[in-house]
Chains A and B, each alone.
Chain A
């Protein structure tokens, strides 16, 4: 269970998140809303890149807001970014090792874990490829491998399907659906692709202008008139990459 309580973030006078609350119990949950709704901001607070003005994020009894960002990763938080953040001058393997480096455990276990994560994400064949030589899909797959490595408890994907073809998006969706079986982690996905969200997310939170518009089972939420109203705008201002 991921429980977000009363989360509030301000940038100067702007309230980017306004007392957001939701209890995600599904294995894969969605976070949607128009551009600038506060989705990425939510993930940034959970990651610890931004300080919450107020509120808590409690997962398995731990209040993440109280931990330093790198401690959250040690605890079991993983995330990908809207604009992927694979280090160009490292190989895929090194990008994965960069996470296990900071976790406890024996070297052999870490290596086995890395192989397993790579296998799952389908990047075994490109483990020795340099980050700069990866194409968009390979980057996304590497992101998935990064997220499932090292016994994660909670994983967040920020627009993972951005820039992917429909076939690639489908494959990515399947991968995300398999994460909980592999690791037991709860997954939170932001995406503009409502079809993808509908297919993989059992529960969804909808934000607009930093406020909670709706929360509940995805199919119900998407039928909500308030949600449909909020989404009218998105057709005209499609998200950048």
Chain B
């Protein structure tokens, strides 16, 4: 039954949240934290793709906005971390809504290109303005500056912060799953089938498309804010438009229909380059590996690695029925 698989995943997730931060050492804690934040953005892109069939190539750019807002607020006011994070999420949600406007008229490749243009625009701004580090002024960038980044009270240490980020990721997954099970999820399924089908069912297509992009933007913004909290300083190179494209490709490789597809995507995105680095191999080799993986996914595994894992798990657990709905994506 599906509940068996879900329980197994829930236990596995919980174990990971408890164990990983306790045992991962030094540099790896940071890598896992940033992996978790990118998984949030990947979850947003993945749900837009599987639920509405829309391609967003601006997720990492929106993470940058979330990070920028979080840093900006941190250095300007004395709000708790959570407030800064929420504002960051609200801002990227609003930007997501804006990006949805062209989505109302365009689809497929054209829409993907529009989102890529947004990403490129953000890229330019980040490169020109950099990220606030505590200096004076609106942009708040100083050359010798590095003011303190306040972390959540609950999560001062790196290990606690990793755990904290993982909890946010779970909240993100739950948010997506709740949407899928309720009116928006049904409306999105119809929109994906065809706009005519949606309109004939009384769906306000404009509203629900805007909503979907908003949710996806929210997840990216929260991810970016959490990344800012982890690192304290952000670099424009992290949020290049090409990174957004890469993350989307890995979402396909990971498998967008399943929630753990987003985790796989983020692990590939963050951990593989780190591993290659450790082994003394040029991290750019990861591009080649990812390219091959993407081809593999497109040609033979439409549900990505997550789909293959889901198949394997089902084969191992007798009675675990086909999880065709992609129950948690």
**A interface list, Cβ under 8 A from B:** 47-49, 69-70, 73-74, 78-79, 81, 85-90, 94-95, 97-99, 101-103, 130, 132, 146
B50 to A: closest C-beta gap in Å: 8
Chain A to chain B contacts (Cβ below 8 Å), 30 pairs: A47-B196, A47-B199, A48-B199, A69-B200, A70-B199, A70-B202, A70-B203, A70-B204, A70-B205, A73-B201, A79-B200, A81-B197, A85-B194, A85-B197, A85-B200, A86-B193, A87-B186, A87-B189, A87-B190, A87-B193, A87-B197, A89-B192, A90-B186, A90-B190, A94-B189, A98-B183, A98-B203, A130-B324, A130-B325, A132-B324
A87 to B205, CA, bound (A): 15
Considering the complex, which residues of chain B in the window 16-58 have a beta carbon less than 8 Å from any beta carbon of chain A? none
Smallest CB–CB gap between B297 and chain A, Å? Answer: 19
Are A81 and B202 in contact, with the CB atoms below 8 A? Answer: no
* Size category of the binding interface on chain B: 20 to 34
From 221 to 272 in chain B, residues with beta carbon under 8 angstroms from any chain A beta carbon are none
Are A89's CB and B201's CB within 8 A? Answer: no
List of A residues within 8 angstroms of B183 by Cβ: 97-98, 101-102
Q: What is the 8 Å Cβ interface bit string for chain B, positions 160-197, against chain A (1 contact, 0 not)?
A: 00000000000000000000000100110110111011
> Which residue of chain B is the closest to A88 with respect to CB atoms?
B193
What is the chain B residue whose CB lies nearest that of A68?
B204
Measured in the bound complex, the distance between the Cα atoms of B324 and A88 in whole Å is 11
Among residues of B, the one whose C-beta sits closest to the C-beta of A150 is B202
A90 touches B189 (CB 8 A): yes
* B42 CB, nearest partner CB in chain A, Å: 20
Q: Is B199 in contact with A89, judged by CB distance below 8 angstroms?
A: no
Residue of A nearest to B184 (CB): A101
Return chain B residues, CB-CB under 8 Å to A89.
Answer: 189, 192, 325-326
- For the residues of B in contact with A, the DSSP-based class is helix
CA distance A89 to B194 in the complex (A): 13
Taking the nearest CB of chain A, how far is it from the CB of B104, in angstroms? 13
Consensus secondary structure, chain A interface: mixed
In the complex the two chains form, what is the Cα distance from A48 to B205 in whole Å? 13
Q: Which residues of B contact A49 (CB under 8 A)?
A: 196, 199
Expressed in whole angstroms, the minimum distance between the Cβ of B209 and any Cβ of chain A is 13
* Complex: A168 Cα to B205 Cα, angstroms: 34
Cross-interface CB contact of A99 among B194, B196, B201, cutoff 8 Å: B201
3 residue pairs, one from A and one from B, having the closest CB atoms: A73-B202, A85-B197, A102-B202
Contact string, B303-329, partner A, CB cutoff 8 A, digits 1/0? Answer: 000000000000000000000111000
A23 to B202, CA, bound (A): 25
Known: A85-B193, A87-B192. A98 touches B200 (CB 8 A): no
Known: A97-B186, A101-B202. 8 other contacts (CB 8 A): A69-B199, A70-B203, A78-B200, A87-B186, A88-B193, A89-B192, A98-B190, A102-B204
Residue of A nearest to B182 (CB): A101
| Interchain CB contact under 8 A, A94 and B186 | yes
Q: From residue 285 to 314 of chain B, which have CB atoms closer than 8 A to chain A?
A: none
Q: How far is the CB of A140 from chain B (nearest CB, A)?
A: 15
CB distance from A80 to the nearest CB of B (A): 8
B324 partner residues in chain A, CB cutoff 8 A? 130, 132
Residues in B whose Cβ lies below 8 Å from that of A90: 186, 189-190
CA distance A102 to B204 in the complex (A): 9
**In the docked arrangement, what's the CA distance between A102 and B200, Å?**
11
CA distance A146 to B187 in the complex (A): 14
| A97 CA to B203 CA, complexed, in Å | 11
Minimum C-beta distance from A37 to chain B (A): 20
A102 closest partner in B (C-beta): B202
Residues of chain B contacted by A69 (CB below 8 angstroms): 199-200
